[in-house]
Amino acid sequence: MAYNEIRDEIVVPQFMTFAILTFAGNANGNVPPIRKIFGPDTQIKNNDAVSVDAVNNEYYVPQDDNRLLVFDGLANGNVKPKRILITDDPDPNRVTIDTVHNLLIVSGGPKLRIYNRTASGNDKPLRVITIPKEYHPKGIDDGDGGSRQMATALMTVNSQRGLVFANTRVGGRFALEDFIGVWSVFDNGEVYPLYTIGGPNNLLKDVRGIALDPREKNVIVSDKTHNAIFNFHVPEVF
């Protein structure tokens, strides 16, 4: 799920019906979506995530076949993507947008791939951040396979500071090895995070969400295993 703070809209992916639903921000009760992206021309399939670029009014829908589908935020019905990016990751996981620096950031495996925001087709990343091997679990497959592969997933970004926050899973679920890594969007190569939040080997087990509270200078992290929401006061990243 994602929120468009400019249009006050809630955007929800539908995994089983291959759809993206948009609701008014004040929707309540059994109400229909105000828009629905749905149909064969959309090329959406088993989508479990959507990201919103509120500034440029675009939706980003990662697929498990190398592709990232981009739709106009006002698209409705059986519409074609406005552009498609073919990533070098067979399963692009999550997407976030740095609207200040005009960057698209894609997580997957042990890497964060940083593209021009409008990248399409076979455009290559501008930079690729690789998680240092020190953090990798024993027996890791450094390629795109391996049962205990280092995984980067959920992300958010502080565009004003040019910082990307990524959930980084070192081991399997339920292990005290997850952490939120913070990198510069200008980092490249095998780079240690500028900051780590909540671990590794400290608190987080199964991160399911990251959000920023700039006013209070908090990083907010939800954890499924703990069934809790943690507020980390980290003024250094704001």
Residues in Cβ contact with 134 at an 8 Å cutoff, skipping those fewer than 6 apart: none
Interval 30-46 mean pLDDT: 96
What local confidence, expressed as pLDDT, does residue 21 receive? 97
Percent of the chain with pLDDT over 90: 73
Of 66-75, 106-115, 177-186, 200-209, which gets the smallest average pLDDT? 200-209
Residues 98 and 208 in one domain: yes
Domain shared by 211 and 126, yes or no: yes
With cut-offs at 50, 70 and 90, classify the pLDDT of residue 91: confident
The band of 143, judged by pLDDT with boundaries at 50, 70 and 90, is: very low
- Residue ending a domain, choose from 86, 120, 142: 86
pLDDT at 69 over 70: yes
**Same domain flag for 97 and 74:** no
Q: Is there a single domain that holds both residue 116 and residue 223?
A: yes
pLDDT tens digits, one per residue of 165-224: 999 887 666 677 789 999 999 999 999 999 999 988 889 988 889 999 999 999 999 999
> For residues 233 and 136, which has the higher predicted lDDT (pLDDT)?
233
Cα–Cα–Cα angle for 147, 63, 67, nearest 5°?
A: 105
With a cut of 50, say whether residue 142 has pLDDT above it.
Answer: no
- pLDDT for residue 59 is more than 90: yes
Q: CB neighbours (10 Å) of residue 82?
A: 14
Residue 80 shares a structural domain with residue 109: no
Same structural domain, 101 and 2: no
| pLDDT higher than threshold 90 for residue 233 | yes
* CATH code of the domain covering residue 208: 2.130.10.10
* Full residue range of the structural domain in which residue 165 is found: 91-238
With a cut of 80, say whether residue 136 has pLDDT above it.
no
56-82 mean pLDDT: 96
Same domain, 66 and 107: no
Asked if 42 and 148 sit in the same domain, the reply is no
Last residue of a domain, one of 22, 55, 86: 86
| CA nearest to 126, candidates 143, 144, 103 | 103
Q: Are 88 and 113 in contact (CB under 8 A)?
A: yes
Position with higher pLDDT, 131 vs 9 = 9
The rounded mean pLDDT for the chain is 90
| Radius of gyration in angstroms for the set of CA atoms belonging to the chain, rounded to a whole number | 17
Contact of 73 with 81, CB cutoff 8 Å:
no
Task: Tell whether 45 and 127 lie within a shared domain.
Answer: no
CA distance 173 to 181: 17
Residues 114, 99 share a domain: yes
pTM across the whole model: 0.89
Considering its fold, how many domains does the chain have in total?
2
Query: How sure is the predictor about 149, in pLDDT bands with cuts at 50, 70 and 90?
Result: low
Instruction: State the pLDDT at residue 68.
Output: 96
Q: What is the reported pLDDT for 127?
A: 97
